[in-house]
Amino acid sequence: MGHEVFFDFDPARRIWLGLAGVGIETKPGSYPLVLEGVTSKGSKTTTRHTVRVVRTKYPTIALRVSEEFTAPDSQALARIEQEQELKTKVFSVLGPEREWSGRFTVPVSSSVSGAFGTRRKFNGLIESVHHGLDYSAQPGTPVSAANRGTVLLARNLFLEGNCVVLDHGQGLLTLYMHLSEIEVHEGDKVARGQKIGNTGATGRATGPHLHMAVRWQGIYVNPVVMLKLNLP
């Protein structure tokens, strides 16, 4: 699919491990995964595998939010456009070095209230796909980093509210939205489980909760799958 997969050696299991994702908008079908390498004697070797993508059905729900988010004025539209340029720059970060280590952990002690892939209609007007998980939580509930990484973004955005984006290396990012408070700064190094803020209802939110998303090389992937992976 035009992406490069980075591999790391797991000495405990003596296997090479690479992470890759398939976006929700990907058309069903078979896609090639090409592995290229060099043997200890210097000769090149190539292996091809097929990755099969199937269609999944997701529910549709209706939500009500403030009209400023469904019919923004010219000033808000200008801000949204400016922030989109910022997010495009942030989301394009791709380094070959891995920062994450071990399993990714749930960022907040709460239950999931909004599933990945749900198609949403705001105020009967705007349709969007839910690209993350929502955790219902009272305002001020601590939010922690899902894994080790670098803070790429930590600021207030019009739609996302107070938002933190962590870079875990190799094109893997986690996003934390609608926070009431941010407790890290851009450029900070954070550890897995370190507090990065508190839950809230800032931005386009129907109530207090945490929206967590996972991006891999520009693609939103299901956080549920990431959180279940047994990673070294």
Domain annotation for the chain: domains and CATH numbers: 7-53 (no CATH), 60-228 (2.70.70.10)
DSSP characters over 37-51:
EE-TTS-EEEEEEEE
pLDDT at residue 230 in the model: 87
Q: Indicate if the pLDDT at residue 126 is higher than 90.
A: no
- Angle at CA of residue 185, ends 179 and 188, nearest 5°: 125
CA–CA gap between residue 165 and residue 212 (Å, rounded): 10
pLDDT at residue 43 in the model: 96
CA–CA gap between residue 22 and residue 32 (Å, rounded): 13
Tokens representing 26? Answer: 């990907």
Asked whether 157 and 163 are in contact (CB, 8 A), the reply is yes
Asked whether 65 and 123 are in contact (CB, 8 A), the reply is yes
Confidence of residue 179 (pLDDT cuts 50, 70, 90): very high
pTM more than 0.85:
yes
Tokens representing 36? Answer: 């290229």
CA–CA gap between residue 136 and residue 183 (Å, rounded): 20
pLDDT at residue 98 in the model: 93
Tell me whether strands 161-167 and 172-182 are parallel, antiparallel or unpaired: antiparallel
Tokens representing 71? Answer: 């019919």
CA–CA gap between residue 16 and residue 104 (Å, rounded): 18
Q: Indicate if the pLDDT at residue 6 is higher than 80.
A: yes
Amino acid making up residue 4:
E
What's the mean pLDDT in 67-75?
90
pLDDT at residue 76 in the model: 94
Kindly state the percentage of the chain with pLDDT values over 90: 77
pLDDT at residue 70 in the model: 87
